[in-house]
Amino acid sequence: MSFLRSQLLVSIVAAMSLGACRASDAPAENRAVGPPAADELNLAEELPLPQPALDRASFLKAVAAAASAQVAGTEDRAAQQLDGRRFAIRLRFGCEGPATVNGTAALRWTQNEGKASVEISAKPDLSLADKSLDDISDQTIEAVEGFWIPRPWQLNDSCPAAAPDGSEAALPAPQLVGIAQYFTAQDSRVGRRSGRPYLATKKIQSPDDLPKSGLILLLEGRFEAWPGGEVIRCTGSGRNRQPTCIASAHLDRAAFLRPEDDSVIAEWRE
């Protein structure tokens, strides 16, 4: 009996050992898996995503906040937090049709003689000579180039509805919000426009090709603080008139777009 018991015990131990081996050989999907170790986590999922580029509406809201702080006499430099932030701001122009040949609008398009093409022009109309920059603190600034934003009270870039009687057509556009790049004597002169407009010529096959709903000037780049530290610089008391606000930026790209499909007519990159 002792011999039989010993043999039985050996058989049981062998069966248990074989079962353990088979369990260790089971496919991974059949095994119980515990939580991953800390070093196995995908740390990339925890990295913050880059902020989207500021569009026209977001930019104008930031300007409104800066203008409000200017009127109230409060410091808003910390609240702006725009230094280094990318932007993509759209300026709609030419909604009223072709400009006259001798017109002075900064953003315009005209139909050439023979009506076979249109010429599109965007001439920077914001410079260091502007009165709102008279008291700029840093005397090393040698030049300023940029654009005033048409209709800064309009958050989107659509054409404005026409006045029923056309009475507003001859009114001068107020220059209240601008975006510009400043240059010091140490900066390269390669990137300066120096009064030169962005110019493009587009052929047309029929009257349907005319930009009857206007065009878009797209400005892309990143904000850079003025020497004083703020990105959006507002001047004026605001008691009886909205302050004038100019954002400092580094322009990387300018482009003419068709508003119907955002197709690029011409572009300039730094």
Task: Provide DSSP, 172-191.
Answer: PPP--EEEEEEEETTS-STT
Query: Residue 83 class from Cβ within 10 Å (0-12 exposed, 13-18 middle, 19+ buried)?
Result: middle
Q: Is 24 inside any structural domain?
A: no
How many folded domains does the chain comprise? Answer: 1
The span from the CA of 169 to the CA of 163, in Å, is: 8
Q: Is 114 inside any structural domain?
A: no
Confidence bin at 55 (pLDDT 50/70/90): very high
Cβ neighbours around 80 below 10 Å, total = 20
Low-confidence winner among 136-150, 155-169, 199-213 (lowest mean pLDDT): 155-169
Q: Is 47 inside any structural domain?
A: no
Q: Is 254 inside any structural domain?
A: yes
The span from the CA of 84 to the CA of 255, in Å, is: 21
The span from the CA of 179 to the CA of 87, in Å, is: 11
Q: Supply the pLDDT for residue 162.
A: 79
Whether the CB-CB separation of 221 and 252 falls below 8 Å is answered with yes
Low-confidence winner among 28-32, 37-41, 114-118, 257-261 (lowest mean pLDDT): 28-32
Whether the CB-CB separation of 117 and 140 falls below 8 Å is answered with no
Q: Is 265 inside any structural domain?
A: yes
Q: Supply the pLDDT for residue 237.
A: 79
Q: Is 232 inside any structural domain?
A: yes
Q: Is 117 inside any structural domain?
A: no
Q: Please list the residues that pair with 199 across neighbouring strands.
A: 121
Q: Please list the residues that pair with 268 across neighbouring strands.
A: 254
Q: Residue 252 belongs to what domain range?
A: 56-95+124-161+173-196+212-269
Q: Supply the pLDDT for residue 29.
A: 47
The span from the CA of 66 to the CA of 242, in Å, is: 11
Q: Calculate mean pLDDT across residues 90-104.
A: 88
State pTM to two decimals.
Answer: 0.79
Q: Is 70 inside any structural domain?
A: yes
Q: Residue type for 180, please?
A: A
